[in-house]
C-alpha cells in the first residue's frame, strides 16, 4: 500500500476577540510577574469573553476578580506595578473608565516623571469601546482624547485581529502605562478574520498602517471607522477619485511621518473618528497637519466625527449622530473639489 503524505496543518482564521485572548495567554505564560484584574474577568471570563479560561489556566492569584470599583482596581494595579508586577486591567466597558480617572491621570500617568525617570509602571488598562451596536449613552463611548491629553499615557486602538494581538503584546511589554481601546463591534466580526503568525510577534507602538494606497485624497482614521473609510474609498473610486486610507493604530505616540508622507502625495486630507467633535482627537490630527504640513495642503482639512451629543439608543438616531460612509464620501468630495 502506497504511503500517503501527511497533510499540513490548516491555519485557522482568527477573529479580533480570539487574537486578544491569545495575546494575553501568551504574555501570561512568558511573564510570570504578569497579573490580570477586573470585574468578572476570572470565573465569568469577562463580559465579552476576552479573558475566558485565563483564571483556570493561571490561577486566582494571577487573575483576580475585583470589586465593582474602577478607582480601586486601577489603584491596586499601580501599587502592584510599583512592586514589580506587569498589570492588565480590564474595564468592563470603557465608558466606566471615568470612575478610575483620578488614579489613571494623576497617579499612573505621572509616576515616571515625578520620580525623574526612575520608576516605570507597566500597566495596560483595556476594555470594550465604541458605538454602532445600539449600546446607547452608557455603553457606546469613545473617550480616548481624555487620555491622549494626559502626558505619560500611551493610547492604542487597533482595527484588525493581527494588530489587536500584536499591539496588545507590545503594550504589555512596553513598561509604560497604556490605555487600550477594543472596538466591541469588531470582536466577533467575521468579515475581518485573518490568519495570525504562529511565531511570536509584536506590532510597534507609534507606527501607522496604510490600508489602501491612493493619490488624490488621504483619509486618516482608526478603530471601526477604518472600514467605513475603506468603503468610502471604494465609492470614490467609482467617480475616478483615488483615496488613501491611513489607520494610525496608536494615537499616542502618533506617527506623523506616515500622515505627512501621504499628504505630500495627495494634498487633501479628511480625518474620521467616532468621538465627539469638540476637543476630539480628530481635531488634534487636523491641527498637526495644519502646523507641520501646511505647505502640502491644497484645501483645508476636514473632520467627520460624532455629533456633540450622547449616543442615542434608537438605531436611526444612533446612525444619524455617528460618522457614516455617506458622510465620509461627501467630505472627501468636498475637500477634493475645493
Residue 11 pLDDT? 59
What pLDDT sits at residue 8? 41
Nearest to 19 by CA among 122, 166, 157: 166
- Kindly report, residue by residue over 35-70, the tens digit of the pLDDT: 999 999 999 999 999 999 999 999 999 999 999 999
**CA 219 – CA 209 distance, rounded (Å):** 12
Cβ atoms of residues 152 and 205 within 8 Å: no
User: What is the pLDDT, as a whole number, of residue 2?
Assistant: 37
Q: Is 239 exposed, middle or buried (0-12, 13-18, 19+ CB in 10 A)?
A: exposed
pLDDT in tens, 229-251: 999 999 999 999 999 999 999 99
- Residues annotated as catalytic are 139
What nine digits make up the cell of 55? Answer: 483564571
CA dihedral 177, 183, 184, 187 (to 10 degrees): -100
C-alpha–C-alpha distance, residues 230 and 328, integer Å: 10
pTM beyond 0.85: the answer is yes
Question: So what's the pLDDT on residue 12?
Answer: 80
Calculate Rg over the CA atoms of the chain.
21
Would you say 58 and 88 are in contact if contact means Cβ atoms under 8 Å apart?
no
**Residue-level length of the chain:** 338
d(Cα 54, Cα 278) in Å, to the nearest integer? 39
Domains, the chain, ordered by start = 13-195 (3.40.50.970), 209-336 (3.40.50.920)
Instruction: List the beta strands (DSSP E) in the chain.
Output: 13-14, 34-38, 63-65, 86-90, 123-129, 154-156, 178-183, 194-195, 209-212, 217-221, 243-247, 250-252, 269-276, 302-306
Residue stretches of the chain with pLDDT short of 70? 1-11
Amino acid at each position: 500500500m502506497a504511503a500517503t503524505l501527511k497533510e499540513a496543518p490548516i491555519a485557522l482564521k482568527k477573529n479580533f476577540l480570539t487574537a486578544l485572548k491569545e495575546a494575553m495567554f501568551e504574555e501570561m505564560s512568558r511573564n510570570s510577574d504578569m497579573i490580570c484584574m477586573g470585574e468578572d474577568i476570572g470565573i465569568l471570563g469577562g463580559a465579552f469573553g476576552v479573558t475566558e479560561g485565563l483564571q483556570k489556566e493561571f490561577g486566582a492569584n494571577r487573575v483576580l476578580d475585583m470589586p465593582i470599583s474602577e478607582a480601586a482596581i486601577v489603584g491596586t494595579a499601580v501599587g502592584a506595578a510599583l512592586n514589580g508586577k506587569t498589570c492588565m486591567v480590564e474595564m468592563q466597558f470603557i465608558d466606566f473608565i471615568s470612575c478610575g480617572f483620578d488614579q489613571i491621570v494623576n497617579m499612573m500617568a505621572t509616576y515616571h516623571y515625578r520620580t525623574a525617570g526612575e520608576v516605570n509602571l507597566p500597566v495596560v488598562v483595556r476594555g470594550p469601546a465604541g458605538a454602532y451596536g445600539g449600546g446607547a449613552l452608557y455603553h457606546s463611548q469613545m473617550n480616548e482624547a481624555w487620555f491622549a491629553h494626559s502626558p505619560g499615557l500611551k493610547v492604542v486602538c487597533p482595527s484588525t485581529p493581527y494588530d489587536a494581538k500584536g499591539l496588545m503584546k507590545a503594550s504589555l511589554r512596553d513598561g509604560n502605562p497604556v490605555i487600550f481601546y477594543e472596538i466591541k463591534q469588531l470582536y466577533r466580526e467575521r468579515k475581518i478574520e485573518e490568519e495570525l503568525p504562529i511565531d511570536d510577534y509584536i506590532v510597534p507602538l507609534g507606527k501607522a498602517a496604510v490600508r489602501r494606497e491612493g493619490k488624490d485624497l488621504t483619509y486618516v482614521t482608526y478603530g471601526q471607522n477604518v472600514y467605513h473609510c475603506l468603503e468610502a474609498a471604494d465609492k470614490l473610486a467609482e467617480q475616478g477619485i483615488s483615496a488613501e486610507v491611513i489607520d494610525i493604530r496608536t494615537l499616542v505616540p502618533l506617527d506623523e511621518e506616515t500622515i505627512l508622507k501621504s499628504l505630500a502625495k495627495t494634498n487633501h486630507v479628511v480625518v474620521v473618528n467616532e468621538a465627539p467633535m469638540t476637543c476630539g482627537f480628530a481635531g488634534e490630527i487636523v491641527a498637526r497637519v495644519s502646523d507641520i504640513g501646511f505647505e502640502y495642503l491644497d484645501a483645508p482639512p476636514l473632520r467627520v466625527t460624532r455629533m456633540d451629543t450622547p449616543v442615542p439608543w434608537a438605531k436611526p438616531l444612533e446612525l444619524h449622530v455617528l460618522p457614516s460612509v455617506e458622510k465620509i464620501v461627501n467630505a472627501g468630495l468636498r475637500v477634493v473639489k475645493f
